[in-house]
Amino acid sequence: MRSFGVGNPWFVVSRPQPRARIRLFCFPYSGAGANIFYQWASILPPAIEVCAVQYPGRGTRMAESAITRMDALMDALSPQFEGYLDRPFAFFGHSLGAMVAFELTRRLRRDYDRLPLHLVVSGHSAPQIPDRRPPIHALPDEAFIAELRKLNGTPDEILQNQELLGLLIPILRADFQLSETYEYQPEAPLAAPMAAFGGLGDPFINREELEAWAEHTTAGFRVRMFPGDHFYLNTNRGLLLQALARELAPYLI
C-alpha cells in the first residue's frame, strides 16, 4: 500500500484516484490497521478515493507508541488533515473508528470550520450512551484474551499463537484504553448528514443505540442494518460497500 501524501504515515491509499470526486477517510476498529480497507478501493466507484487512516503502533508504524487517550489522538490527527481539505471528503469509522471519526469531525469543525460531506458511523452506540460493558484494558493477559474471544474479532489462530499475541495485545490494550477512558462532552449537533450502520446479530450494539446518533446531526440521518455480528463489515463487505456507495452517490453527480 502507498502513503497518501508524501511522507505522511497517517494516510494510506491502495489505489490512488487523482480525479476522484470524494476522499473517503476510513477509521479502523480496535487492534486493526489501515490494511482492513485494502480491498475497498477495488469495489467502490473510482470517483471515491479510499484513504485509510493508520494509527501509530501498527502496520508501517509498528515502532511508534500507540495513543491511549482520545484528546491526544485528536491533537495528533487533526493537523494532518490541513493539507487534505482541498477536495470534498467523507468519513467512515467502525467501532472505535466510529468514535474517532465522530470526534475528528467535531475537531475539524473547531480547527478549520470544515465538515465532511457525510459521516457514517458503524458498530458503536451513540457517544452520549454510557458503555454498559466493564473495562477490560487493564485485565491480566489470560482474562484479557478470554474477553477477546467473546468479542469474536480476533481469529483463533492468532489467539493461539503466543508470538503474534505478544505483538497484538499491547495494541489492543491501548485501543481499549482509548475507548474505555473516553468522556463524551456535549456540543452543538453537526450540520452534516449522518448514517449509522450495524450488524443484526451484534450482541453489543442494538438498533436503538444506533438510532440515538440522530441527536448529533441537523441534516439527514438513517440507520442501516446488515446480516452478521459486530464484525459484519468483514463477513458482509459487499453489502456494506453497496450501502456506502448509495450514501455517497448524491455527491458524485
Catalytic residues: 95
Radius of gyration of the chain (CA): 17
Distance CA 197, CA 176 (A): 21
Which phi and psi angles does 166 have, rounded to 5°? -60, -30
| Alpha carbon separation from 223 to 28, 73, 200, 226 (Å, rounded) | 20, 27, 12, 10
Q: Give the integer Cα–Cα distance in Å for 216 and 128.
A: 10
- Least Cα distance to 25 among 52, 45, 44, 55 occurs for 52
Q: What is the DSSP string of 207-220?
A: HHHHHGGGGGBSS-
Strand partners, 199: 226
C-alpha 53/C-alpha 110 separation (Å) is: 20
How far is 91 from 210, CA to CA, in rounded Å? 17
Residue 96's closest CA among 183, 158, 180? Answer: 180
Sequence-distant contacts of 62-67: CB under 8 A, at least 24 apart: 62/167, 66/170, 66/171, 66/174, 66/175, 67/174, 67/178
